[in-house]
Structure 1
Amino acid sequence: MSDRGGYGQFCPVSMASEILCTRWTTLVVRELLCGSTRFNDLRRGVPKMSPALLSKRLKQLERAGVIRSERSSGAPEYRLTEAGEELRPLILGIGVWGQRWVESQVTLRNLDPSLLMWDMRRNLNPDPLPPRRCTIQFLYPEAPRAQQNWWLVVDGRTVDLCGFDPGYDVDLLVKSSLRAMTAIWMGLSGVRKELDAGHIELDGDPKIATAMQNWLGLSSFAGESRKVA
């Protein structure tokens, strides 16, 4: 499985590493564990990965019995096998370790608005929002022009992410530095703290603004306490 050949050891750690430790593979598995099944959705979770390499990794994982592809109509969908599902505690454990032990200022240099918004969409909690369609616009002024504006459209339990204006009235405009919003998403900061510091501005429905910390989709690892190495 390794791009440079195997390790040549019979140890199960070595054999598993030949499958999982090639570049991007654990992140592809992460996206599958989070529920992405279609190629384009997987790409949104790994936006810096080339389509050709993603296709290659999916084929490798399928050959290894970690996933299977299904095609009923249109594009194929990728599903984890029993072997793939057994990776869940391992991948989550890596995330917990990274949240607790990797220095936070290092992680906050890896800023990516498209990945941030995709993860926020995935984990957003619609319960604190009004029982109607709500449109929340995020503006990151320092991001490249094509990645400055994002819209989350919440309709019932459905949350859509748009990189273009969907044409609905905006219920809340969130103007934020990308670093501040990433820190909130990672659980390293909070909405109130970033508002008080002037790193975030909210304009719109005051009830939606007040409840932002409750509806905002945070990282699955945000509740893990930091450790000092």
Structure 2
Amino acid sequence: MAAREYGQYCGVTQALELVGERWALLIVRDLLVGPRRYGELAAGLPRIPSNILAARLKELQAAGVIRRVPHSRVIVYELTSYGRELEPVVLALGAWGFKALGDPRDEQVITPDAMTMALRTAFRPGVAAGLPATAYAAHVGAAELLVRVDGATLDVARGDGAVDLAFATGPDIRRLISGELAPERAIAIGVVEVLHGRVELLERFAATFHLAA
């Protein structure tokens, strides 16, 4: 029996043997945002050793979770249809882990892909469906995201564009998303800095993206 096998005949066991190794689900998390080159995956997981990244990619390929494909004369990694079935699992894990988040340690960072998935986890399509379409520029630490909400549809991308509200924040966005801080209070104590746009739209953002802590 291989060292990574648990010796049990069970769906949970099988899933852990496929994606339970360290870093594997974070690779899946980032690929749920979109295909990535090897260097992009490494940049998004700045503490992963290169040999571990290479090993995990090979293991996930062998398991049929990801594949290597040519794209614009370079090779990218993308999820297979089987791998994309992990999205609700990753979102549910994110919501579960959010309940245990405390203050970040000095060495912890927020990556664009991690923040994208956090927003997808917190998105409330039922609430958004009753609100006007809104575009936000969210500067969360080093992550700069263009967040478009149109009815029950959410689109999060890197880059610039026309927005209704641009704001800057940091890891303490957790306190806004959890409802611990009301939007006005978040602005007043400096957790959120409104860069331009209608300040009252932060209320709409907080209603649209919410996770119970």
1:115 corresponds to:
111
> For 1:84-99, what aligned pairs fall within 5 Å after superposition?
84-99=83-98
- Greater per-residue strand proportion: 2
Structure 2 vs 1, CA of residues 118 and 160 (structure 1 numbering), >3 Å: closer, same or farther?
farther
2:129 corresponds to:
none
Q: Could you tell me how far apart the structure 1 residues matched to 2:93 and 2:113 are?
A: 22
Q: Could you tell me how far apart the structure 1 residues matched to 2:34 and 2:97 are?
A: 21
- SS in structure 2 at match of 1:15: helix
Give the drift of 1:214: 5.0
- What amino acid maps onto 2:75 in structure 1? P
Give the drift of 1:59: 1.1
Structure 2 vs 1, CA of residues 6 and 214 (structure 1 numbering), >3 Å: closer, same or farther?
same
Q: Could you tell me how far apart the structure 2 residues matched to 1:173 and 1:223 are?
A: 17
- What amino acid maps onto 1:93 in structure 2? A
Q: Could you tell me how far apart the structure 2 residues matched to 1:68 and 1:117 are?
A: 19
Which TM-score applies when normalising by structure 1?
A: 0.60
Which TM-score applies when normalising by structure 2?
A: 0.64
Q: Could you tell me how far apart the structure 1 residues matched to 2:21 and 2:190 are?
A: 41
Q: Could you tell me how far apart the structure 1 residues matched to 2:93 and 2:144 are?
A: 29
Give the aligned length: 190
- What amino acid maps onto 1:223 in structure 2? H
The one-character-per-residue Cα deviations of 1:114-160 (angstroms, maximum 9, x if unpaired) are: 42686269959x9446xxxx8x877x6xxxxxxxxx48486x99632
The one-character-per-residue Cα deviations of 1:22-56 (angstroms, maximum 9, x if unpaired) are: 10111111111222433333334423223332222
Q: Could you tell me how far apart the structure 2 residues matched to 1:172 and 1:77 are?
A: 32
- Is 1:223 paired with 2:210? yes
Q: Could you tell me how far apart the structure 1 residues matched to 2:184 and 2:25 are?
A: 34
Gaps of 5+ in 1: 141-149, 162-170
> For 1:1-20, what aligned pairs fall within 5 Å after superposition?
4-20=3-19
Give the drift of 1:209: 5.0
Q: CA RMSD in A?
A: 4.2
Q: Could you tell me how far apart the structure 1 residues matched to 2:203 and 2:43 are?
A: 24
The one-character-per-residue Cα deviations of 1:45-76 (angstroms, maximum 9, x if unpaired) are: 42322333222211110011111110244331
Q: Could you tell me how far apart the structure 2 residues matched to 1:87 and 1:65 are?
A: 12
- Is 1:192 paired with 2:187? no
Structure 2 vs 1, CA of residues 29 and 159 (structure 1 numbering), >3 Å: closer, same or farther?
closer
Answer yes or no: is the 8 Å Cα contact 2:70–2:76 preserved in 1: yes
Structure 2 vs 1, CA of residues 213 and 53 (structure 1 numbering), >3 Å: closer, same or farther?
farther
- SS in structure 1 at match of 2:51: helix
